[in-house]
């Protein structure tokens, strides 16, 4: 009957998917069996007990204890069995193994962002190594979304202001589809992502290179994203208001005064130095509290920040 399952269901790309399908098919055929039985009995009894002749009464049954016990106890045992079967599979999928690779997922109208343990980030494409336990930690920045990967038979609602998780081990390399399964506004139907299940070598190579979507972004847009995601925005405003650090508004090309009394016109190299070695030149009136971003930003992200600053006239 595997052809029937494969015809109804998407591919099974994890062990959990096979477990879900087994239980699903069991329930399907169980309900099928009862459906046929009940239809048959309805017709058979209607035929058997139909009034044969005018004025002749059919037999009058009151009780059949054995029958009543049977139709109560047999279904009860079946549904309790289904409950424990499902509960076991659910519990197994709910607990991440200790060596699971943790990837953060953020839903936002209308795209998905993924953050990997080494700081790599990707947009609309989730890369995971094959046969490695993965724990996704998901949250939303705005409204309810739902993260749905049909080939893994896994789906969860994503709620702003809280983390939920999904655990899986993908077993089939290739590109699979991720959907948003909760109506979240105008472009809900386009809120998709690709799941790439890679060999460990290919995954490592991808991590090294970074996400190609970042390369497709306008540099200033990428810079704005870095400003938000790396927390630059907690100290540096873009509207001219003074924060822990100088505002970014109108910074590029301005002559900046430093603690040691020297001055300098803000250019690309100054911004780059201030990101990677923030204590080198501390602006007068501010404390040297900024941590270094050495090793935390890719070259393309630094360029993006510079492009973003240039736009903030
Ligand atoms: Cu997000 Cu629908």
For β-strands 133-140 and 125-129, DSSP reports them as unpaired
CATH, range 2-94 = 1.10.287
Say what the pTM is. Answer: 0.66
- pLDDT score, position 1: 66
- pLDDT score, position 48: 86
Positive or negative: CA dihedral 294, 295, 296, 301: positive
Is-contact 108 187, C-beta < 8 A? no
- 217-311: what CATH class? mainly alpha
CB atoms within 10 A of CB 245: 19
Please tell me the distance between residue 119's alpha carbon and the centre of ligand 1 in angstroms.
25
Q: What is the pLDDT of residues 55-80, one digit of tens each?
A: 777 777 788 999 999 999 999 999 99
Ligand 1 pocket check for 145: Cβ under 6 Å: yes
Break the chain into its structural domains and give their ranges.
Answer: 2-94, 101-210, 217-311
- pLDDT score, position 208: 80
> Which of these, 148, 138, 134, lies nearest to 108 by C-alpha position?
138
- 101-210: what CATH class? mainly beta
Mean pLDDT by 10 residues, the chain (313 residues): 84 91 94 96 90 78 90 95 95 89 91 86 89 93 93 93 92 94 91 92 85 76 82 85 87 87 89 89 88 81 89 85
Q: Do 101-210 and 217-311 fold alike per CATH? A: no
Is-contact 122 113, C-beta < 8 A? yes
φ and ψ of 198, to 5 deg? -110, 160
Ligand 1 pocket check for 138: Cβ under 6 Å: no
H/E element, 208: helix 200-209
């Amino acid at each position: 009957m595997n052809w029937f399952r494969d015809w109804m269901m998407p591919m099974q790309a994890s062990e959990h998917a096979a477990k879900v399908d087994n239980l699903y098919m069991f329930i399907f055929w169980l309900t099928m069996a009862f459906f046929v039985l009940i239809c048959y009995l309805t017709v058979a009894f209607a035929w058997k007990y139909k009034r044969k002749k005018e004025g002749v009464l059919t037999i009058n049954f009151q009780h059949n204890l054995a029958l009543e016990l049977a139709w109560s106890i047999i279904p009860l045992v079946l549904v309790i069995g289904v409950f424990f079967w499902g509960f076991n599979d659910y519990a197994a999928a709910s607990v991440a193994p200790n060596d699971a690779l943790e990837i953060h997922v953020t839903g936002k109208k209308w795209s998905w962002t993924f953050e990997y343990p080494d700081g790599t980030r990707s947009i609309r494409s989730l890369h995971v190594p094959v046969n490695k336990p993965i724990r996704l930690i998901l949250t939303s920045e705005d409204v309810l979304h739902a993260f749905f990967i049909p080939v893994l038979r896994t789906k969860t609602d994503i709620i702003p202001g809280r983390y939920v998780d999904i655990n899986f081990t993908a077993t089939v390399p290739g590109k699979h589809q991720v959907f948003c399964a909760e109506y979240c506004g105008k472009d809900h139907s386009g809120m998709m992502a690709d799941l790439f299940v890679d060999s460990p070598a290919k995954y490592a190579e991808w991590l090294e290179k970074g996400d190609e979507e970042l390369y497709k972004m306008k540099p200033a847009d990428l810079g704005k994203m870095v400003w938000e995601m790396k927390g630059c925005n907690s100290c540096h405003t873009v509207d001219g208001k003074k924060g822990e650090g100088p505002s970014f508004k109108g910074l590029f090309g301005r002559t900046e005064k430093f603690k040691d009394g020297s001055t300098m016109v803000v250019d690309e190299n100054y911004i780059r130095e201030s990101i990677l070695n923030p204590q080198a030149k501390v602006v007068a009136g501010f404390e040297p509290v900024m941590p270094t971003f050495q090793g935390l930003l890719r070259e393309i992200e630094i360029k993006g920040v510079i492009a973003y600053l240039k736009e903030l006239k």
